Amino acid sequence: MGRATRQRRIDAQERWPDLYQFLAAYPHRDWPDDSGTSEAAVDLAISEHGLEQRQLLARQWWNWNAAEGSDADPRPAINEGLGVEVGFDTPREGREFMNSVYDKLIVSIRQEVKDWKP
């Protein structure tokens, strides 16, 4: 791991520790064997987290997105920073993955708390 990658990872762990752990622990290098798809890995992660934890994750995602999501190419922030080991071919694929994480979190939260906002 290069110096820039290491620093990006440290920064993400400090700024969004729960989101980092959530993403690094599920869509990691074994997700094809463990879950089949990266989306299924996210679904599994969500199913294993309680309401309060998912609310915290959605808030940290919101903060992450404000800081990193608008980059022309968010893949380094996703892969190197948050530890997601999914090979995105384009910046759009990375952005779509992160948006789907947020959408899945929000849907799961709103099943329990109607009209919840981060």
Query: 20 burial class (0-12, 13-18, 19+ CB within 10 angstroms)?
Result: buried
Q: Are 29 and 85 spatial neighbours (Cβ–Cβ below 8 Å)?
A: yes
If pLDDT is split at 50, 70 and 90, which confidence band does 30 have?
Answer: low
57 against 83, higher pLDDT: 57
pLDDT in tens, 56-73: 999 999 999 999 988 999
Please provide the DSSP assignment of 37-73 as one string. Answer: SHHHHHHHHHHTS-HHHHHHHHHHHHHHIIIIITSS-
- 81 closest CA partner among 26, 7, 3, 2: 7
If pLDDT is split at 50, 70 and 90, which confidence band does 13 have?
Answer: very high
pLDDT at 34: 61
pLDDT of 116 above 60: yes
Single pTM value for the model: 0.88
